[in-house]
Amino acid sequence: MTAGAARNTTHDPQGMQQGASVGPVDDARLRAAFAPVREWVFDLDNTLYCASRGLFEQIDRRMGEYLSRLFGVDRQQARIIQKDYFRRYGTTLHGLIANGEIADPDDFLAFVHDIDYAPIAPDPALDAALAQLHGRKWVFTNGSLSHAEQVLDRLGVLSRIDEIFDVKAAGYVPKPHAQAFDAFFRRTGISPASAAMFEDIARNLAEPHARGMTTVLVRHPANADADSLHAPSAGCGCRAGGDAAMSHPHDDPQGEHVHFRTSRLPEFLQRLIDTGAAATTATTATTAAKLQDTNEGKATS
Ligand SMILES: [Mg+2]
C-alpha cells in the first residue's frame, strides 16, 4: 500500500481502525516512539495472522479434547476448566503444570498443535513489511517451536524471523508472567528500550510496558480468547493466586500499557517504514518511556 492510502482515516466506533492512519501528528508520534526500536518482538497466534482464519479455534478444540480425556469429564466441563486456567494462569498448560496435573508438557503441546495449517495463507504484505524493518525480528510465543515454524512457513515469513522463543524456552511459564519475560530477555540479550512488542492480548503487554518496551495491541475480529479477557468483567491471571472474578487493568485494551493499537499489522508496520520510524537512528528525545508517562502516545492504526 502507498503512504498516501495509509493516511485515509476510517471511523471505527470501537477505536480499532481498519489499518487507517490518524494523521500527520500521529505520524510524528509513531516516528518518535519507534525511532529507538531495533528489536521487533511478535507474538504468534492471532497476532501475525488473523484470528478469523480459525487456526486457534482448532487448537482450542484440541485443548478441550485433551482435558476431557485427562480428567474424564465431558467437553462442556473440560471447557470450563480450560478457560478458567487460561484466565488465571496465562495458559491452560500453565494451569495444568501449576496444579500438578500433567507430567509431560511436550505431550500436551504436540497434541494441541496437531491441527490443519491449511487455513493459513501466504501474507505477502507481512513479508514485505518484515523485510523492510531495520533490526532483528523475534517471535515470542506461548506455543511450541514446531507450531511457530509451521505457521511462519505457511505465512511465507519464516526466513524473516531471526529467532523463535517458545514456551519451552521459557521453562513452560507463559506470558503474561514476569518469569517468562525474564527468560526471554536472558536468552535474547535485548534491551527493552530498543524493542517493540506486538500482541493480541492486552495483559501480555503489561510486562513489556513495565520494562520499557514500546507496545502494540493487534486486534482482529473473531478473537474469542482476547475478547473474553478484554471484556469489562473479565478476570486476569497475571497475579499468582489472582481472583478470576475480579477485573484487572492489564486486561483493558485501552490501558496505559498499550501504546498503540492496530487491526492490520502489515499496514501498521508499513506506516512505520513510510514515516521512516523503522529506518532512522535514535536521535529523538521522545522515547517510548516518555509516552508511558504522558499516556499521549496512544493511537489507532
Ligand atoms: Mg496470541
Choosing from 92, 112, 132, the residue where a domain stops is 112
160 and 200 fall within a common domain: yes
Q: Is residue 238 part of a domain?
A: yes
Please give the torsion angle defined by the CA atoms of residues 199, 41, 84 and 106, in that order, rounded to the nearest 10 degrees: 140
Q: Is residue 162 part of a domain?
A: yes
What does the alpha-carbon distance between residue 127 and residue 119 come to, in Å, rounded to a whole number? 17
Question: Rounded to 5 degrees, what angle do the CA atoms 93, 108, 115 make?
Answer: 110
DSSP string, 101-118: --S-HHHHHHHHT-S--T
Confidence bin at 135 (pLDDT 50/70/90) = very high
Ligand 1 centre to CA of 284 (Å) is: 31
Q: What is the pLDDT of residue 235?
A: 41
Q: What is the pLDDT of residue 279?
A: 56
Ligand 1 centre to CA of 280 (Å) is: 29
Q: What is the pLDDT of residue 192?
A: 97
Confidence bin at 237 (pLDDT 50/70/90) = very low
Number of domains in the chain: 2
Whether pLDDT at 184 is above 90: yes
Share of the chain above pLDDT 70, in %: 75
Ligand 1 centre to CA of 202 (Å) is: 10
Q: Is residue 65 part of a domain?
A: yes
Range of the domain at 66: 55-112
Ligand 1 centre to CA of 120 (Å) is: 15
> pTM for the full model?
0.79
Ligand 1 centre to CA of 113 (Å) is: 14
135 and 31 fall within a common domain: yes
Q: Is residue 26 part of a domain?
A: yes
Residues bordering ligand 1, an ion, CB closer than 5 Å: 43, 45-47, 200
Q: What is the pLDDT of residues 76-128, one digit of tens each?
A: 999 999 999 999 998 999 999 999 999 999 999 999 999 999 999 999 999 99
142 and 101 fall within a common domain: no
Q: What is the pLDDT of residue 230?
A: 66
